Amino acid sequence: MELITNTRFMLIIASTLLIGIVIGYTIGYYMGQTTVQTTQTTPIQRKYILGVSIALSGPISSICVQWEPVVRMAIDDLNNISRSMGLNLVFEPYILDDKGSPEEALKNAQTFYAAGIRIMIGPPLSSQLKAIKAFSDANKFIIIAPCSNSPTLAIPGDYIFRTQPSAIAESEALAVLAIRENIRSIISFHIDDEFCNVFSKYFKDSFEKRGGRIVHEIVYSPGQADYGTDVATLASFARSLTPDAILYCGYGTDGANILSHAAEEPALRATRWLVVESFYGASEVLVPKIIEFAQQVRMIGIRPAPLVNPLYDEFVNRLRNYGGTPTYCSENVYDAVMIAGLAVLRTGGSTDPDELREAIVQVAKTYYGPGGWGLLDENGDRVQAAFKLWTLSMVNGTPQYVDIGYISDSTIVMES
């Protein structure tokens, strides 16, 4: 397994790549690349609108509503860069609610394109991105997705970019962690969703290659009012198969319901739980009943995250001024908007998809933001692949998501 990177390398990268976000390197670099000519007269402002598709309602909205202030902060930063360069480009976001739905995400993409917008930030889920891909391919419509990481969408040559690395390395990292925790048998329990389906498959391959065994798989349907029957089925198999652990992949609304039911099942309280990042940051999960359950089952979660990044703390502090609190993928949302905007500045405000596509690739090579190095692979996915380990816990009487370790370069470190 090749996991990037160690702490020293991240510190070196953070201090050498695109330090100009803080000290002005960006300004000098893009002034040399843009075709916009400045004069002594005040130029007429040109609006450049970026489409943004996020779930402001629906089952993942508790995470995504916090992305809106991130977008507005990034837009302000882009306009400050443009202004300091003496350019006449002014960025504006056009934000639409996709409700976490593939159909709504496609509708948003079509709305943006009809309005002359050629770059879209979002949508949040891989299932939504999959629904948009044919439209993107047919129209050369550029998408920068901040949270999708299904390996089935890692395709070279298209017009889709992702500021989240592919889940292949993550599934391998979780398999390594499971073996280290002396877990050899697992029931896989997950929502019927593009990301969770594919992640579970890749995890199975990695886990069984290392001597583990998936003894059963249960897939439940999204959109239910209650998931008690599914949890009862899981508990029945846990009693009969006595696995070492349960691998769970679900989102905010369904996740809170499932974990609440699981907390009442003795067989599930007696089994370790491994979880992925899909509900990380969801407020619905942060209730005492679920926190107590997480502690009882010694729950360990995994999520992609740069291990050392001095720009992330600055990002968190500044976001408070916009009324925002970072949730899962918030830093990737900021990076997606910035990479899109810097690519537009690099081209002098072009709407040509091929010119913009190439500019995004070049910008990402030297961009470093709160989500880490922006470098993209041949599929347009972020290259970095380091992971933080987390759980749910009470901190000073408040339910919280708490980091407890990390995985980097095949090394697992538990910090608490």
Write out pLDDT tens, residues 187-238.
999 999 999 999 999 999 999 999 999 999 999 999 999 999 999 999 999 9
**Strand (E) or helix (H) holding 389:** strand 387-395
Question: 99 and 57 in contact (C-beta within 8 Å)?
Answer: yes
* H helix runs in 25-66, sequence order: 25-31, 61-64
Question: 409 and 9 in contact (C-beta within 8 Å)?
Answer: no
What contacts 120, CB < 8 A, 6 or more positions away? 50, 51, 52, 53, 108, 109, 112, 141, 142, 143, 144
Q: Which residue's entry shows tokens 């949508």?
A: 123
What contacts 401, CB < 8 A, 6 or more positions away? 280, 281, 286, 390, 391, 392
Give the CATH architecture of domain 168-297+387-414: 3-Layer(aba) Sandwich (3.40)
- Alpha-carbon distances, residue 201 vs 167, 178, 208 (angstroms): 11, 15, 11
Asked whether residue 168 carries a pLDDT value surpassing 60, the answer given is yes
Same fold flag, 7-164+307-373 and 168-297+387-414: yes
In this structure, the number of other CB atoms found within 10 A of the CB of residue 306 comes to 26
Name the band, by pLDDT with cuts 50, 70 and 90, for residue 413.
Answer: confident
Q: Domain locations in the chain?
A: 7-164+307-373, 168-297+387-414
Interatomic CA distance for residues 193 and 358, integer angstroms = 31
Read off the pTM. Answer: 0.83
Angle made by CA atoms 236, 242, 246, in degrees to the nearest 5: 80
> Which whole number is the average pLDDT over 332-342?
98
- Alpha-carbon distances, residue 53 vs 118, 167, 244 (angstroms): 13, 22, 40
pLDDT of residue 14: 39
CATH level 3 topology of 7-164+307-373: Rossmann fold (3.40.50)
Segments of 99-230 assigned E as strands: 119-121, 142-145, 160-162, 185-191, 213-220
Asked whether residue 290 carries a pLDDT value surpassing 90, the answer given is yes
Asked whether residue 30 carries a pLDDT value surpassing 60, the answer given is no
The mean predicted confidence, pLDDT, of the chain is 89
pLDDT of residue 307: 77
Interatomic CA distance for residues 90 and 80, integer angstroms = 9
Asked whether residue 58 carries a pLDDT value surpassing 80, the answer given is yes
> Which whole number is the average pLDDT over 247-274?
97
Segments of 27-162 assigned E as strands: 46-54, 89-97, 119-121, 142-145, 160-162
Percent of the chain with pLDDT over 70: 89
Interatomic CA distance for residues 151 and 169, integer angstroms = 10
Name the band, by pLDDT with cuts 50, 70 and 90, for residue 347.
Answer: very high
Q: Which tokens go with 362?
A: 């070049």
pLDDT of residue 416: 62
pLDDT of residue 41: 55
Interatomic CA distance for residues 96 and 111, integer angstroms = 9
> Which whole number is the average pLDDT over 373-380?
96
Name the band, by pLDDT with cuts 50, 70 and 90, for residue 93.
Answer: very high
What contacts 255, CB < 8 A, 6 or more positions away? 248, 278, 279, 282, 284, 285
pLDDT of residue 42: 56
pLDDT of residue 410: 67
Asked whether residue 120 carries a pLDDT value surpassing 70, the answer given is yes
pLDDT of residue 310: 87
Asked whether residue 414 carries a pLDDT value surpassing 80, the answer given is yes
Asked whether residue 39 carries a pLDDT value surpassing 70, the answer given is no
In this structure, the number of other CB atoms found within 10 A of the CB of residue 23 comes to 8
Out of 156-165, 236-245, 339-348, 382-391, least confident range: 382-391
Torsion angle of alpha carbons 391, 392, 393, 398, nearest 10°? 140
pLDDT of residue 2: 34
Asked whether residue 167 carries a pLDDT value surpassing 50, the answer given is yes
